[in-house]
Structure 1
C-alpha cells in the first residue's frame, strides 16, 4: 500500500487532512513559488567568445561519459545506464538529435516536462515552506545541458568576480572559510575595526526570474537562451527559479549573484583594505554571502544596497532565522 500523506497546513496555519486538499495545497504553494512578478533590468552588452555552431560528436561523447550512472531516472523512467552502457552507439544517436535541435531551435516536449519531488529540509514538516522541490528531468536532456554548460562555462567563468567560489573549478568553500578565518585573526592581532554580515537568501534557487537570466546572458549567447527553455513541471508552467535538479542551475544562479554584487559594490569603497589598491567587500559561496566592512555605517549602506538590488530580481534576505546572542563561538568544521 502507498505511504500516507503527511498532514500540511494552509496559508492560515490550519491543518489539512483530506488527501486531495493536501495535493491542492502543494500545487498552490509551488505555483506561487515558481511564478513570481517579473522584474525589469537592462540586458547585458558584453560579447563573449562562445561557439554557437552545432555540437560535435566529440562534445556529445564527452557529455555522455561525464553523466553519472546513479542519477535518478527522468519522468519517463529512462535510466542513465542506458546511455552510458555503449557510448559509441548512443553518441551517434544523440548527436543526430542534438544537431536537429540546434537547427530547429526546438527541443523535444518530454525534455520540457519535469517531475517535482518534495524533500524535507528542516523541522516543521507540516509547513510547505520547510520542503525543497527537486525536479527530475529527462536524462538525454541533461546530456544536452552538459554540452551547453561546457561551451559557456570557461568563457563566463573569467568574467565572474574572484570573491565567488561556488560551483567553480579549483575554488571551494574551504578556501572561503580559511580566508575569513585569516581576516578575523589579523583583525584580532592588529586591532582594526571589522564588521562581518552573513546573508542568506530565502529560497534563492526558486525565486530568480527567468527573463532576468536571459538578459544577464551575454549577447554572444543569444542562441543559448532559446535552448535553455522554459520548463513545465507536471503540466504546470513556471516563470521563476533555475530548477533544482537541472545541470545548468548552479551556473545560471552564479550569473545572478555576480550581477547583484557587481551592481551593489561598484560605486563606493565600503569593504576592508585587501591590497594596496583594492578592497574586499565580500566572500561568496553560491548564495551564501559574507560581507566585510571597516565600520558599522559602511556595512549598513552595503547591506541595504545589496538587498535593494537583490529584491529587483526576485531575491529576498531570509528573515525567518532566530539568532541567539553568544559571547563565545567554537568553530569546529573549519
Structure 2
C-alpha cells in the first residue's frame, strides 16, 4: 500500500487503519519531487534542489562551451532548464537568508561558467547580473510567491486552495511579551550585582 502517515504536532500514536491494515508512520517522505518532513523541510528541500540543479547544468556542458550559440539563447536555456529545477516549489519555502545565499552562489557560479569568467577576473555580482539580465535569487523567489498568491486568489470561491488562504485557526495567544528564561549567564550576572 502506498499510503503513509506523517504526524505533525500530535501527541497520539494510535495506528491509522484502512480496513484491517495499519498505515506506516514516517518522519519524512518525497511527494511530487518535494521532500516533506515534520519541520516543514525547507532547508532539506533547498539542499536537495541545489543537489539536483548541477546535474541539469552539467548535462548541457557542451552547449555552454559552444561559441555558435548566442548568449541570449544560452541564458534562456539556463533559466528554463537549470533555474526551473533549482527553484521548483520555492513558493512554499520558508527560506532563510543563508539558504537564499546558497542558491545565489550556485546561480552566480553557473553564470560565470556560461560567460567564461575565470576566478582571476574580478567582476562583481551586480555587474554579472546586469550583463546576464538576471535578478537576485531572493527577489525572484518573492516574485514567484506573489504570482502563486495571485493565481490562488483568482480561483473560484469554492476552491480548496483559496479557502486555505482564508483559514483562521481558533485559539488564543497569551497576552504580553514572552518571559525570558533565566540562563546560567543571567543568574551569574544577577549574583555579581
Taking structure 2 as the reference length, the TM-score comes to: 0.27
Rg larger for: 2
Taking structure 1 as the reference length, the TM-score comes to: 0.18
Structure having greater relative contact order (Cα 8 Å, sep ≥ 6): 1
Q: Report the structure, 1 or 2, having the larger strand content.
A: 1
Q: Report the structure, 1 or 2, having the larger helix content.
A: 2
